[in-house]
Structure 1
Amino acid sequence: MKIHYINMLSTLLFCTSMAFTQQINNSAPNKNNNWEKFTYDLNSIVGGIGHAYVRPLSWEENQVGLFGGVVIGTLGLYTIDDEADRWFRNQEPHIPKLIEDYGWYYGNPQNNYAFNGIVYLTGLFTNNDKIRRTGVLMISSATATGLLQQISKSLVGRARPRTGLKKNDFRPFQRNSDFHSFPSGHTALAFSNAHALAKQFKNPWLKGGIYLLGSIPPLTRLWNGAHWLTDIALSVALSIATVEAIDNYLDKRYGNPSEQEKLNLEKRVSWRLVLKTSGVGVAMNF
């Protein structure tokens, strides 16, 4: 998985260098020029990633309080990590294979980026600025969380539950993936996508459906003993914080979408679960 992130980052940096070579500035791009919009969006993606990483330096009092709440909540979950692991792993035999397959494939980096790219390119080539901005948010959020979780896995070196080792067994800088439990990459990618998408809609049922689909990959990682409950919880918190930070940054680049725009997008977008013998997926129709 690490190689995939390096390849994706290299591609992103190459495209961004092309944008700077073309001397595209930060002014709003020509709405009739897809190349200008594309290069502007690449700059937005890189800027959004950087903003997400430095955002904690400018947290206000309420955001520091939320961080403290996450820490306290995580410590509480840590006390039941062992019990939660046993309970979730006991559920795996009862989970339909289609659900497990969906959780694995959607949380996979290649598939995740492919979906994000489809959303972005749909907005770009249909001249739909709302969908295009959503694609930018999804790509930048996935990249920011993806790179951070890859670094954290090596630094923390927490043993996975399925190794049979204890929840407090930490061995930093191990190449062995058995010691890459924290945080969960599948969770970070899937839930950052879910939160970025859900923010675009007002309908609570639609938002709930998106979050439900985004919750399946984290659950599959608990069912198969790949992660502890605290790994999943902190990955979800990381995803939400990253999306919020980048979304605020993009507001300055693209403007804040109005409630009417959200309602219009709900009317244009429909979702359906696709079940096939070869696997399971989600279709989004514009």
Structure 2
Amino acid sequence: MRSVLAIILVLSCLTSQAFAEEQPISFGTEVQEGFVRLGNESLEVVTAPVDTENYGPLVTLAVAGGVALTYVFDEDIRNKLHGAGSGTLNTLADVGSGIGNPFVHLGLAAAVYGGGRLASSAEWQETGMMLGEAVVLADATSFILKQTIGRGRPFASNDKGSFRPLQFKSDYDSLPSMHTASSFALASVMASKTDNLAGKALYYLGATFVGFSRIQKDKHWASDIILGAAIGELCGRVVTNYHAGKNRVAIAPLVSGDSALLALVGRW
């Protein structure tokens, strides 16, 4: 519940004055636009896996195959990586796990947006909003799947096949990895902001290290990481495409006098 409240609070902050420089609108309208935008993006996250126009079923099948294949080797991977390495590697894994915390990512998104406001930079304001939206989508998707699937964490079950669906237990919410999903959502958005291949690789290497750290700390199975990475990439791309112009038109409620209407709104 605290995670959900934090997500709503940060999202409200990110959208409360979005694009205020473009047109003078009320605080309530700004917040409404932010949630309308997030609603449109959420719908695309749900439909993307079956969207035949963009090869959704093929990508979904590939991800499912990757998760299934990794599942076969989950215990072998755990035995080789958990606690392996020097004290330095263990320390780095602690750092990786820490920077992969979704709350850190929400704070980063808010900081980027706030910095953009202070610098009067529309580009960085939008980047902050994109980061926030991508993280919210990735975290929400992961949370729903975690509670629905109910897979036991390695340290709790010692059995990759231990599942307790819809039990809402903290030690049975392993699949997918929210840390990894959130990290890949950030990486996807930031990679879209640069044409430099080295820069893109650096963002994804950072997200990958977060996933590795979660295995090394015995918090997740390897297949949890694969699914989390796919979710994060999906959410990052949905947000990037939306802000690039795709799906900029939306239907929103509008009150005029005594009448309740639906308005077709868009941004160009």
- Paired residue for 2:81, among 75, 88, 103? 88
Match of 2:130 in 1: 137
| 2:67 aligned with 1:74 | yes
Q: Is the 8 A contact 1:156 1:172 kept in 2?
A: yes
What letter is aligned with 1:8? A
Label 1:59 to 1:137 Cα distance change in 2 as closer, same or farther (>3 A).
farther
Label 1:149 to 1:227 Cα distance change in 2 as closer, same or farther (>3 A).
same
Q: Is the 8 A contact 1:195 1:240 kept in 2?
A: yes
What letter is aligned with 1:147? A
| 2:212 aligned with 1:212 | no
Match of 1:187 in 2: 180
Q: Is the 8 A contact 1:186 1:217 kept in 2?
A: yes
Work out the CA distance in 2 between the residues paired with 1:16 and 1:131: 12
Match of 2:9 in 1: 11
| 2:231 aligned with 1:231 | no
| 2:41 aligned with 1:48 | yes
Label 1:198 to 1:18 Cα distance change in 2 as closer, same or farther (>3 A).
closer
What letter is aligned with 1:76? L
Q: CA deviation at 1:52?
A: 2.4
- Paired residue for 2:114, among 96, 121, 130? 121
Q: CA deviation at 1:97?
A: 4.8
Q: Is the 8 A contact 2:150 2:168 kept in 1?
A: no
Work out the CA distance in 2 between the residues paired with 1:192 and 1:16: 17
Q: CA deviation at 1:159?
A: 1.1
Match of 1:148 in 2: 141
Label 1:13 to 1:66 Cα distance change in 2 as closer, same or farther (>3 A).
closer
Q: Is the 8 A contact 1:16 1:42 kept in 2?
A: no
Identity in percent:
22
Label 1:92 to 1:174 Cα distance change in 2 as closer, same or farther (>3 A).
farther
Match of 1:31 in 2: 22
Q: CA deviation at 1:81?
A: 1.0
TM-score computed with the length of structure 1 as normaliser: 0.75
Label 1:34 to 1:114 Cα distance change in 2 as closer, same or farther (>3 A).
farther
Runs of 5+ unmatched residues, structure 2: 249-268
Label 1:98 to 1:120 Cα distance change in 2 as closer, same or farther (>3 A).
farther
- Paired residue for 1:241, among 210, 234, 251? 234
Label 1:130 to 1:254 Cα distance change in 2 as closer, same or farther (>3 A).
farther
Q: Is the 8 A contact 2:51 2:57 kept in 1?
A: no
Match of 2:255 in 1: none
What letter is aligned with 2:3? Y
What letter is aligned with 2:194? F
Match of 2:254 in 1: none
Q: Is the 8 A contact 1:99 1:216 kept in 2?
A: no
Label 1:124 to 1:32 Cα distance change in 2 as closer, same or farther (>3 A).
farther
Q: CA deviation at 1:191?
A: 1.5
Work out the CA distance in 1 between the residues paired with 2:15 and 2:82: 46
Work out the CA distance in 2 between the residues paired with 1:113 and 1:101: 19
Label 1:234 to 1:95 Cα distance change in 2 as closer, same or farther (>3 A).
farther
What letter is aligned with 2:216? W
Q: C-alpha offsets along residues 169-206 of structure 1, whole Å, 9 cap, x if unaligned?
A: 11112233221110111111112111211111111112
Work out the CA distance in 2 between the residues paired with 1:97 and 1:168: 27
Match of 2:251 in 1: none
Aligned length: 246
RMSD of the TM alignment (CA)?
3.1
Q: Is the 8 A contact 1:4 1:110 kept in 2?
A: no
Work out the CA distance in 2 between the residues paired with 1:154 and 1:77: 21
Work out the CA distance in 1 between the residues paired with 2:40 and 2:119: 24
Work out the CA distance in 2 between the residues paired with 1:72 and 1:48: 26
Q: C-alpha offsets along residues 265-285 of structure 1, whole Å, 9 cap, x if unaligned?
A: xxxxxxxxxxxxxxxxxxxxx
Q: Is the 8 A contact 2:181 2:233 kept in 1?
A: no
Work out the CA distance in 2 between the residues paired with 1:253 and 1:124: 25
Match of 1:201 in 2: 194
Q: CA deviation at 1:239?
A: 0.8
